Amino acid sequence: MTPLISRRSKALSGSAAVPGDKSMSHRALMIGAVAIGESRVRGLLESEDVLRTAAALTALGVSVTKGADGAWRVLGRGVGGLAEPATVLDLGNSGTGARLLMGLLASHPFTSQFTGDASLNSRPMGRVIKPLEQIGAVFNAREGGRLPLALTGTAEPVPITYELPVASAQVKSAILLAGLNTPGRTTVIEPKPTRDHTERMLRHFGAEVKITDLDQGARSIVLTGQPEITARPVTVPGDISSAAFPLVAALIVPGSDVTLTGIGVNPLRTGLLETLGEMGASLTVANRREEAGEEVADLHVQAGPLRGVTVPAVRAPAMIDEYPVLAVAAAYARGETRMEGLSELRVKESDRLRAIAAGLAAAGVGIEEGEDYLVVNGTGGPVAGGARIETGLDHRIAMAFLVLGMAAAAPIVIDDAAPIETSFPDFAGLMNGLGACIEEEKQP
Ligand code: S3P
């Protein structure tokens, strides 16, 4: 374990480009793998999670390589063209990698074994197993629908109509990817809209995806199965979920002025920007453009006072990964920030509600943890800090608390830097380049 210490930082300044979007990187590789021909992917996130997906696809017979120009090349085998793997597919820490790949393989008639690290092996898979069984796949999972598991895909997949019981882009995407090699139309109904990168990327590769708005924000997504999808170039924008860390750091470290360039601002991902705006953040979204069917922009942020707000449950899907760092912003805001509808945080890379509450309490911040809500009481001044945080194999808990330490009276230590590799390799380097003071803790 490599502990990191984050000390009070001087004003952050400058411009930075964060690594590529994790959600889009997984999808570019998986959809490229079943398109015909060679897709070039620029800006791919080269993190532990995405490299696990690349390795799994290699085991399924797909050539995935990095070219001298830095772009990745995926030589697709066509819809239904994946081959039985000779090894166990180890998705490491990645829920997205595991769940989306189970979807893709549900309609391939062979058996695969899935495993992951201690975090992934404790996460619920029943939410994808249930609809994929309806399509015809057979699962043999550990108690409670956990990994490791064996999946035998079906030779005769049945197109289903499935209403999501939880707002989950991973479940939606697993069903749509299974629908690719299924005759007829596969339909997903989502009560609350979740990130639509799969729908956008399927269209980008030439599949027919029909989206209809239903009552009260619900949507239906209909994929026409067995399309001839062909290789396409993809440019992956910067990950807004990674940008969130330098963004909040710049808000809470006095005197900061930072620009983050080329960030994906898909409207189903920008709940944090809306919330920080309501908190009074000086934050502008400039230079909006479109790349590979996704909106991209530069974010400019300046430090300044923040005030507590109520974040409604309906916004949760649009910022589901940003609550750890929002809680850090709330710790520096004046007044109470109430975040509602957070039950999904309990089944992320760790129980994030628990981890946020425990970490903030240890750092001297007033906090109330409910079953599915959090209340953070900020004073508007620096937090005490001086805490040692257990990251529990959770990258976002690790990075959020390093950000907390950047404006705290006493430093914050996280027990292990390794989980950060999941989504944001060189996090410390990028933050230190802007002026942060994050380094390995010298062991006494
Ligand atoms: C993701 C969806 C979200 C998110 C995860 C990435 C995706 O998970 O938390 O980091 O790429 O589809 P859920 O679908 O479980 O909400």
User: Mind listing the pLDDT tens digit for each residue in 198-237?
Assistant: 999 999 999 999 999 999 989 999 999 999 999 999 999 9
Residue nearest to atom 11 of ligand 1 (CA): 23
pLDDT at position 444? 63
Q: Which residues contact 16 (CB under 8 A, 6 or more apart)?
A: 246, 258, 259, 260, 261, 430, 433, 434
**DSSP state letter for 337:** E
Q: pTM score, two decimals?
A: 0.98
Q: Which of 96, 194, 319 to mutate to test the pocket of ligand 1 (most atoms within 8 A of CB)?
A: 96
Do 223 and 363 fall into the same domain? no
pLDDT at 108 over 80: yes
400 and 252 fall within a common domain: yes
Compute the average pLDDT of residues 21-30. Answer: 98
Same domain? For 291 and 226 the reply is no
Q: In the numeric block, which tokens belong to residue 298? A: 């530069």
* CA–centroid distance, residue 168 to ligand 1 (Å): 6
- Per-residue pLDDT reduced to its tens digit, 356-399: 999 999 999 999 999 999 999 999 999 999 999 999 999 999 99
Query: CA-CA distance, 386 to 265, in Å (whole number)?
Result: 35
The continuous run of DSSP H or E covering 427 comes out as helix 427-434
Instruction: Give the tens place of pLDDT for each residue, 311-364.
Output: 999 999 999 999 999 999 999 999 999 999 999 999 999 999 999 999 999 999
292 pLDDT band, cuts 50/70/90, is: confident
Per DSSP, helices labelled H in 319-394 are 323-332, 352-362
Residue 443 has a pLDDT of 74
My answer on whether 96 and 113 are in the same domain is yes
Sign (positive/negative) of CA torsion 280, 243, 423, 58? positive
Which residue's CA is minimally distant from atom 13 of ligand 1? 168
Ligand 1 lining (C-beta closer than 6 Å) = 23, 96, 168-170, 173, 195, 320-321, 344
On whether both 34 and 159 belong to a single domain, the answer is yes
Q: Say if residue 127 is in the same domain as residue 243.
A: no
Among 210, 235, 260, the domain-final residue is 235
Q: Are residues 400 and 416 in the same domain?
A: yes
274 and 328 within one domain: yes
Last residue of a domain, one of 235, 253, 284: 235
pLDDT digits (tens, 9 = 90+) for 36-78: 999 999 999 999 999 999 999 999 999 999 999 999 999 999 9
pLDDT of the residue at 442: 86
Domain that holds residue 11: 4-20+237-440
Centroid of ligand 1 to alpha carbon of 97 (angstroms):
10
Catalytic status, residue 21: no
Which one from 21, 117, 321, 394 is the annotated catalytic residue? 321
